[in-house]
Structure 1
Amino acid sequence: MSRAGSVAVVTGAARGLGREIARRLLARGHRVVITDLDAAAVSATAAELAASGAQVTGIVADARDAAEHRRVAAAAAQLGPVTVWVNNAGVLRSGRAWEQPEEHQALMVDVNVMGVVHGSRAAVELMRERGGHVLNIASMSAHGPVPGLAVYAATKAAVLSFSTSLQGDLDLARVPVRVHALCPDAADTALVRDEQASPDVALLFSQRSLLTPAAVADAAVALLDGRRVVRSLPTHRAGLMRFGSLLPRVALPVLSLLRAQGDRRRTST
């Protein structure tokens, strides 16, 4: 699929992983549309990415709203054929499920799950004739239990299940759109750092070090070169998480040990 003149949309791209993914799509020759809810951040990131002469369009949009996705899709289609749509927008709020503010839980479901559903629908409508790629950013949390992040983990498990099921629907309908889901471990972004003070995020810090946004973005964009539906980063952590899902009564005590290890790293970095 030719990239010259094609358009890529990246939601939640004013910072963090989205910005790095947008940067790599520009390097591949795409014209890129970035969206986010923060108008000032959208403007600043668009200006930064366009400084080298790249074609970047910034649009303020709310990932929770299906109509907003349709508006972004219409604007992107005016720029050229849309061949890539990245559903990256996401939020994380830590806490025990029975203690979290209801508005935090609703926000995670609306952005992390429905934002992906709405974005994927808009993308498929754009690309169903000529083909393209939908890339959904899930999380290592999608693979198993994450005490302290129960609702967040549930939303990312939903993203993973939705992505694989959507690919099945597209295959059955013979629609030439490829769906990919990336499940990275915790990365060194504001999404994670903003919650670092909470002990409930300890498991995110149980790896040796947080992934770099660059490494996650590289893995995300590489999925667009093939037909692979799911990739986890790093792979060995996914195996541990899946074990926790299959045998939770055995795995949960192990996760408690990892949580203690992560809590030490959380408070020392």
Structure 2
Amino acid sequence: MTGTSSTVAVVTGAARGFGREIARRLVARGHRVVITDIDAAAVSATAAELGATGLTADARLAADHRRVGAAAAELGTVGVWVNNAGVLRAGKVWEQSDEDIALMIDANLYGVVHGSRVAVGLMRERGGHLLNIASMSAHGPVPGLAVYAASKSAVLNFTTSLQGDLDLDRIPVRAHALCPDAADTALVRAEQGHADTAILHSQKTLLTPETVADAALELLDGKRVVRSLPLRRAVMARTGSVVPRIALPVLARMRAQGERRRVAGS
């Protein structure tokens, strides 16, 4: 990954959580960093804290990505773009509102697609790195989070397919997908009171945003397309996708275990 001070890096959804910590590390490396978020006050405060440029933008809107891309290009050569913005709403699909379902699909999937299009347009001549934040749920079934898992599975498939297209057209942009397990972020804490998030708490401890950000920077430094954190959980999740008849009862037991931890931590 280019690390000169003239290189611009864009991080969406960076007012808090993974995005803020990824942006913090990019600033420390000397990048001119542009962060975006739909929360105007939060993005302004975070930008001031990090020494970044903050822009209010809605990741669901293609026009907002184009506006952010144009603003970033005015600062210099864009060499890094991180599509981090995302939304989690727990619940069974037949109980969820139309609005919550559309919000997750629009933010988690369309936001990545729109952001990637702008990023490739900005970096296709000089090269660069595009990082899409997926999720451990991209690898297999996640009862209680079906729509969220579907959107993140689409992000993973989109990213790997995009890399194939970039390779075929010999465009020097490297696409990456990071698939972290559940982490201690505002995104997860906001839904912790919902019983359908129990599966997120089936691991002994939640990841930290700092751990995920460190993994993100390692991906940006290399050519690896996909990284899952931790790997052992990804192996379990992929097994569930291949043999759901066996995996779903196991997931039910994990959910029961996670429910005890969820209640204890609420």
In the TM superposition, structure 1's runs of 4+ consecutive aligned residues that sit over 2 Å from their partners are 1-4
The one-letter amino acid of 2:211's match is A
Contact 2:128 / 2:172 at 8 angstroms: preserved in 1? yes
SS at 1:78 equivalent: helix
Match of 1:221 in 2: 217
Identity of aligned residues (%): 73
Match of 2:231 in 1: 235
For the residues of structure 2 that align with 1:149 and 1:3, how far apart are their CA atoms?
40
Match of 2:135 in 1: 139
For the residues of structure 1 that align with 2:80 and 2:65, how far apart are their CA atoms?
14
Match of 1:129 in 2: 125
- Identify which of 62, 65, 83 aligns with 2:61: 65
- Identify which of 156, 166, 169 aligns with 1:170: 166
Deviation, 1:29, is 1.0
Deviations 1:118-138 (A, max 9, x none): 000000000000000000000
For the residues of structure 2 that align with 1:104 and 1:203, how far apart are their CA atoms?
20
CA RMSD of superposed structures (Å): 0.6
Match of 1:92 in 2: 88
- Identify which of 114, 117, 123 aligns with 1:118: 114
Deviations 1:25-79 (A, max 9, x none): 11111010000000000111011112xxxxx100000100001100000000000
TM-score if structure 2 supplies the norm length? 0.98
- Unaligned 5+ segments in structure 1 are 51-55
Q: Is 2:8 the partner of 1:7? A: yes
TM-score if structure 1 supplies the norm length? 0.97
For the residues of structure 2 that align with 1:64 and 1:5, how far apart are their CA atoms?
28
Match of 1:53 in 2: none
For the residues of structure 2 that align with 1:265 and 1:27, how far apart are their CA atoms?
36
SS at 1:93 equivalent: coil
Count of residue correspondences = 264
Contact 2:3 / 2:29 at 8 angstroms: preserved in 1? no
For the residues of structure 1 that align with 2:50 and 2:217, how far apart are their CA atoms?
17
For the residues of structure 1 that align with 2:158 and 2:27, how far apart are their CA atoms?
27
Match of 1:245 in 2: 241
